Every structure is written in C-alpha cells, then in structure tokens.
Amino acid sequence: MQAPGAEPAAPPSPQPTGPTAVFDTSMGRMTCRLFSKLAPKTAANFVGLATGTKDWTNPATGKVEHGKPFYDGTIFHRVIPGFMVQGGDPLGTGMGGPGYQFDDELNPNLNFDVPGRLAMANAGPNTNGSQFFITVAPQPQLDQHYSIFGQCTPGSVLVAETIADVPRDERNKPLEPVTLDKVTIVPAGQPVPPPPAADSTPSAPAPQPQNSNPQL
C-alpha cells in the first residue's frame, strides 16, 4: 500500500538477456549485454555486422563485403564528455555506414534513464545502419528517439567516460584516434574471454576526414 502523497515507484529497468558484445578498444574493454528480446532486429543487425555474417557495402570502395567483421579496426569518431561516445563508421567521419538503413525499434520500456545504454545513432527517424553510441550518464532527452539495444556494465561506463574525456577537435573527434580494435559476440551463458595481451606496437593513425557531419 502506498502512503498518501508518496510518488509512485518507478518500474525497474528491464535487464538484457541476449549475448554480450565485448568492445576491445585502445583505451580498454567495454562489455554490453544485448536486449535481444526487446530490440530483436537492432540486436541482430549489430551481431551480424560484428561477426561478419551480415553482408555490408564498404563505403570507401563500394565493394560488398561478405564474411568480414564490420567494426574491427574502426574508431570512435565522436566523443562528448558527460554525454556519450560514438563509433561504427568505417570512414571515421560520421558519414559512413553499411550501405543500407533500417527502421527504428523503440521499446516503451527502454529509455536513457541509466548510464551505459548502447543505442543506434541516426540521422532522423528510420535511418539506422551501423553507427552506435554508449551513454555515460542518463539522457532523458533521447528517450524514444534512438533505438536502445544493449546495456553496458558499470566498469564499461568508466572506460567510456575516459574515452569521452580525451582531447577533441571542434567536431568532437578525438585528436588522437581511439580505436575499436575488435568486437566479440559472446553467446548468453558463455564466459567472456580474457582481454587481449597488451601490444607495445603503436596503432597506425586513422585517415583524416575531408568532411564530417556527425549526427546522433
């Protein structure tokens, strides 16, 4: 029974039950479990691109890629302190994608009420492709405008915060590339593999964009 005048309790945030996406970056590891039941199309698209089981068109060459993981070796091209980190563009400009778009998948039970939401970036309604972002704080202004398909661990949010705080240019692109070295999809119930051994070999610099119009 609720006391008179008491605010109704907020419903608990849904918990993800799908596979875990492991993001190994040049600044640490982030792990995010996917909402495969609440956002099945969006989660399946991400898994297909990450594993190379979904064909995509290389925006630099126009070649259709088959069996090639999409995200490995890309960069985080847009980072904003206190807000989010964005990646998933092979061009590194905010203009690239997989050569197709798909509709929004907005679930009324999934909102940006907690840090660590993994969601699709877009350029307007129903323009999802490959670009994604991870929030570092609640962002209620984004509710029901961006398709949430995963929830990252608290430790992963700390890594995202570190990435978001790097020096950046006027377009919020890191001055020194932050690389997404590899995305690994771990089936539900399976253990997450250990992080890769540290590599002392410096990463090659990413190509600089000719133009950029990143949108979230």
Q: Residues 196-209: what's their mean pLDDT? A: 50
pLDDT tens digit string along 109-118? 999 999 999 9
pLDDT reading at 120 higher than 90: yes
pLDDT at 61: 96
- In 3D, which of 148, 186, 154, 159 has the Cα closest to residue 22? 186
pLDDT tens digit string along 38-60? 999 999 999 999 999 999 999 99
Arithmetic mean of pLDDT over the chain: 90
pLDDT reading at 139 higher than 90: yes
| 199 — pLDDT class (breaks 50, 70, 90) | low
Between residues 70 and 206, which one has the greater pLDDT?
70
- In 3D, which of 114, 129, 142, 109 has the Cα closest to residue 41? 129
- Strands 64-65, 56-57: pairing is antiparallel
Secondary structure in 3-state letters for the chain: CCCCCCCCCCCCCCCCCCCEEEEEECCEEEEEEECCCCCHHHHHHHHHHHHCCCCEECCCCCCEECCCCCCCCEEEEEEECCCEEEEEECCCCCCCCCCCCECCCCCCCCCCCCCCEEEECCCCCCCECCCEEEECCCCHHHCCCCCEEEEECHHHHHHHHHHHCCCECCCCCECCCCEEEEEEEECCCCCCCCCCCCCCCCCCCCCCCCCCCCCC
pLDDT at 115: 98
pLDDT at 196: 84
**Which residues touch 167 (CB under 8 Å, ≥6 apart)?**
174, 175, 176
Share of the chain above pLDDT 70, in %: 86
pLDDT tens digit string along 6-25? 555 566 788 999 999 999 99
Report the predicted TM-score, pTM, of the whole model to 2 decimal places.
Answer: 0.87
| 207 — pLDDT class (breaks 50, 70, 90) | very low
| 4 — pLDDT class (breaks 50, 70, 90) | low
* Domain ranges, ordered by start, for the chain: 20-186
CATH 2.40.100.10 fits 20-186, yes or no: yes
